């Protein structure tokens, strides 16, 4: 763990093992921290806040730029580590490291754009000035599915704003978190500014982060259930909260869309990170008039996706994170089958040969999906593309919006008017119009409803770590 500028063991001396999800092999071990370690980390972050928050934006920016450069220089090693620990294909790991580095560069730039305002007063002898200041110590909890970029998406803006931090990375991917911290240490981050508690048992760490009065803000990315629980605990202490949670993205193909192009987009998007992405499409609504060519193209594409170790050439889908994830996917597919869906591709666990010791599920296509099936409303987080054919164009937005989640939605149309109407009417934070990658460090990422609160990235990203202070000056 990393406390006050030092790599240390847990107070208890306990450690936990980290495994490769493709092979089950142990690839490392990390200190198994708990409440006492978290309190010590908060103390370090709190002590460092005074000096870090009063550095100039230019000084903080310089460290973030250096970290960006180091991450780019180390990208091949970081990508290899990510594939080993998280399982995604090496090409996808390289892409994630590049995306992660973008946040460091972007917030190195944004650090220098935190400004105030000179406001008008109705009184001739009064002046108003508002300024932005860092909120204080930030508690950050991150998931395993994007084990490097989810860290930089929080650390970049928090550090740029002048906050200090305590990070708790996911138990499945602490080695990637350690590598990110190495980057910051080598970039010259002062002792105490960033601290990390690793653990195999997150609840006690979460309890301390949400109850210690020295923590001003909680930022969390993970499941809706845990996010709601932590946000509730944080609310009891009036901590500021941003939570990026689950999703159930609709993917709408309008009758005027090019169905082959749309099917290629769906195949490319659905199997990213083995479907373990919060913006992964979970309901493909295809108009009946274009359903045949869409399903034909998608069937051919899904049949070509190869599952395996992320280090093997030609592999498009790596392992899932654990057995529970495979069981959840299998349960949804079995439920759909039992309720009348067809499964033209995949639909089974991969458990023999090279797959024997990993957590694999076959790339799968399901057609004839109906609203009574689990998969039509429960997040899958696995490599399954469920297709629902619709008839009424006027009703598809309502179908798409019929979820408590509100993170991402996708639309395929060649009609500009349909595109604008869908963009405005879909109740989601991110809309891809003929676009399967509507994400960037420069753009706000986040959801509505059960998908969370707040935005990361873009101009909005740094606001989550700033307080507004008003000065009224009688002259
Ligand atoms: P999870 O909520 O179990 O775990 C996420 C993090 O929370 C991990 O670090 C974990 O250790 C920690 N955690 C779990 N229980 C905790 C507790 N009681 N107290 C404190 N911390 C606790 O989720 P997961 O299954 O590992 O991750 C996948 C989920 O994350 C999916 O639902 C996905 O949609 C969501 N996700 C959302 C985004 C986004 O930006 N919106 C990005 C990635 C993942």
pLDDT in tens, 250-264: 999 999 999 999 999
Specify the 3-state DSSP secondary structure of 40: helix
16, 100, 139, 143: which to mutate for ligand 1, most atoms within 8 A of CB?
143
| 141 CB near ligand 1 (under 6 Å) | yes
Ligand 1 centroid from CA 455, angstroms: 17
Rounded to whole angstroms, the Cα distance separating 12 from 43 reads 18
88, 223, 247, 406: which to mutate for ligand 1, most atoms within 8 A of CB?
223
Cβ atoms of residues 440 and 281 within 8 Å: no
Cβ atoms of residues 467 and 134 within 8 Å: yes
pLDDT at 199 (0 to 100)? 98
The percent of residues above 70 in pLDDT, for the chain, comes to 100
Cβ atoms of residues 305 and 271 within 8 Å: yes
CA distances to 95, 153, 285 from 146, rounded to whole Å, are 11, 10, 27
Ligand 1 centroid from CA 464, angstroms: 19
| 232 CB near ligand 1 (under 6 Å) | no
Q: Report pLDDT digits (tens) over 180-236.
A: 999 999 999 999 999 999 999 999 999 999 999 999 999 999 999 999 999 999 999
| 221 CB near ligand 1 (under 6 Å) | yes
Nearest CA to ligand 1 atom 25: 223
CA distances to 109, 184, 289, 347 from 106, rounded to whole Å, are 5, 16, 44, 41
Name the helix (H) or strand (E) containing 261. helix 259-270
pLDDT at 84 (0 to 100)? 98
226, 379, 457: which to mutate for ligand 1, most atoms within 8 A of CB?
226
Specify the 3-state DSSP secondary structure of 219: strand
| 223 CB near ligand 1 (under 6 Å) | yes
CATH 3.40.605.10 holds for 2-245+451-474: yes
Look at the block and give the residue holding tokens 């754009």: 113
Kindly state the average pLDDT of the residues 330-347.
Answer: 98
When pLDDT is cut at 50, 70 and 90, the band that residue 388 belongs to is: very high
Kindly state the average pLDDT of the residues 430-442.
Answer: 97
pLDDT at 124 (0 to 100)? 97
Which are the contacts of 439, defined by CB distance < 8 A and separation ≥ 6?
A: 99, 279, 430, 445, 457
> Which class for 258: exposed (0-12), middle (13-18), buried (19 or more C-beta within 10 A)?
middle
pLDDT at 293 (0 to 100)? 98
Which are the contacts of 252, defined by CB distance < 8 A and separation ≥ 6?
A: 285, 396, 397, 400, 409, 410, 411, 412, 422
Instruction: Give me the chain's average pLDDT, please.
Output: 98
Q: What are phi and psi of 195, to 5 degrees?
A: -135, 150
Nearest CA to ligand 1 atom 13: 202
Name the helix (H) or strand (E) containing 51. helix 35-53
Q: Give Cα 61 to chain centroid, integer Å.
A: 24
pLDDT at 204 (0 to 100)? 98
Residue positions annotated with a catalytic role? 244, 278
When pLDDT is cut at 50, 70 and 90, the band that residue 301 belongs to is: very high
Kindly state the average pLDDT of the residues 66-95.
Answer: 98
DSSP letter for 222, please.
Answer: S
**DSSP per-residue codes, 109-163:** HHGGG---EEE--SSTTEEEEEEEEE--EEEEE--SSSTTHHHHHHHHHHHHHT-
Location of each CATH 3.40.309.10 domain in the chain: 249-440
Ligand 1 centroid from CA 245, angstroms: 7
Rounded to whole angstroms, the Cα distance separating 186 from 167 reads 18
Q: What are phi and psi of 321, to 5 degrees?
A: -70, -35
Cβ atoms of residues 467 and 133 within 8 Å: yes
Provide the sign of the torsion angle of the four alpha carbons 78, 226, 10, 66, taken in this order: positive
Nearest CA to ligand 1 atom 35: 222
Q: Give Cα 165 to chain centroid, integer Å.
A: 18
When pLDDT is cut at 50, 70 and 90, the band that residue 34 belongs to is: very high
DSSP letter for 366, please.
Answer: E
Location of each CATH 3.40.605.10 domain in the chain: 2-245+451-474
Q: Which two tokens stand for residue 280?
A: 């992964």
Q: Report pLDDT digits (tens) over 313-322.
A: 999 999 999 9
Q: Per the CATH hierarchy, to which homologous superfamily does domain 249-440 belong?
A: Aldehyde Dehydrogenase; Chain A, domain 2 (3.40.309.10)
pLDDT at 181 (0 to 100)? 98
Q: Which two tokens stand for residue 89?
A: 């294909």
Per DSSP, which regions of 148-280 are E strands?
A: 164-168, 194-196, 215-221, 240-244, 249-253
pLDDT at 239 (0 to 100)? 98
pLDDT at 256 (0 to 100)? 97
Kindly state the average pLDDT of the residues 269-294.
Answer: 97
When pLDDT is cut at 50, 70 and 90, the band that residue 86 belongs to is: very high
pLDDT at 89 (0 to 100)? 97
């Amino acid at each position: 763990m990393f406390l006050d500028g030092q790599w240390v063991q847990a107070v208890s001396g306990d450690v936990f093992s980290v495994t490769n999800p493709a092979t089950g092999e142990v690839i490392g071990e990390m200190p198994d921290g708990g409440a006492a370690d978290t309190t010590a980390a908060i103390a370090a972050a709190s002590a460092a806040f005074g000096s870090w928050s009063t550095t100039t934006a230019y000084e903080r920016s310089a460290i973030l730029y250096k970290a960006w450069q180091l991450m780019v220089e180390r990208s091949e090693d970081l990508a290899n580590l990510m594939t080993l620990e998280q399982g995604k294909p090496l090409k996808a790991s390289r892409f994630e490291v590049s995306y992660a580095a973008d946040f460091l560069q972007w917030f190195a730039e944004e650090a220098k754009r935190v400004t105030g305002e000179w406001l008008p007063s109705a009184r001739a002898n009064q002046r108003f000035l508002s300024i932005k200041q860092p909120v204080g110590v930030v508690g950050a909890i991150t998931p395993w599915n994007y084990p490097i970029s989810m860290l930089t998406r929080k650390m970049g803006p928090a550090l740029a704003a002048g906050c200090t931090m305590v990070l708790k990375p996911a138990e499945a991917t602490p080695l990637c978190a350690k590598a990110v911290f190495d980057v910051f240490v080598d970039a010259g981050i002062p002792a105490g500014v960033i601290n990390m508690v690793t653990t195999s048992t997150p609840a006690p760490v979460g309890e301390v982060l949400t109850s210690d009065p020295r923590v001003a803000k909680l930022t969390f990315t993970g499941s809706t259930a845990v996010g709601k629980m932590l946000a509730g605990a944080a609310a009891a202490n009036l901590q500021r909260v941003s939570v990026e949670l689950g999703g159930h993205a609709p993917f709408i193909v309008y009758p005027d869309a090019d169905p082959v192009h749309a099917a290629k987009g769906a195949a490319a998007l659905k199997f990213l990170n083995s479907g373990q992405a919060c913006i992964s499409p979970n309901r493909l609504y295809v108009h009946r008039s274009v359903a045949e060519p869409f399903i034909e193209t998608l069937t051919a594409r899904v049949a070509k996706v190869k599952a395996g170790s992320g280090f093997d050439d030609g592999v498009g889908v790596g392992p899932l994170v654990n057995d529970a994830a495979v069981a959840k996917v299998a349960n949804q597919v079995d439920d759909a089958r039992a309720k009348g869906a067809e499964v033209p591709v995949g639909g089974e666990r991969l458990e023999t040969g090279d797959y024997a010791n990993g957590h694999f599920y076959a790339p799968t296509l399901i057609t004839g999906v109906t609203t009574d099936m689990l998969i039509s409303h429960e997040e899958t987080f696995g490599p399954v593309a469920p297709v629902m054919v619709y008839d009424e164009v006027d009703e598809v937005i309502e179908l798409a919006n019929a979820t408590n989640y509100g993170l991402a939605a996708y639309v395929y149309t060649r009609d500009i008017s349909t595109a604008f109407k869908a963009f405005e009417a879909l109740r989601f934070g991110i809309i891809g119009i003929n676009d399967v990658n509507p994400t960037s460090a420069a753009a706000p990422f986040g959801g509505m409803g059960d998908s969370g609160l707040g935005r990361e990235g873009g101009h909005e990203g740094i606001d989550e770590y700033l307080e507004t202070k008003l000065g009224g000056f009688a002259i």
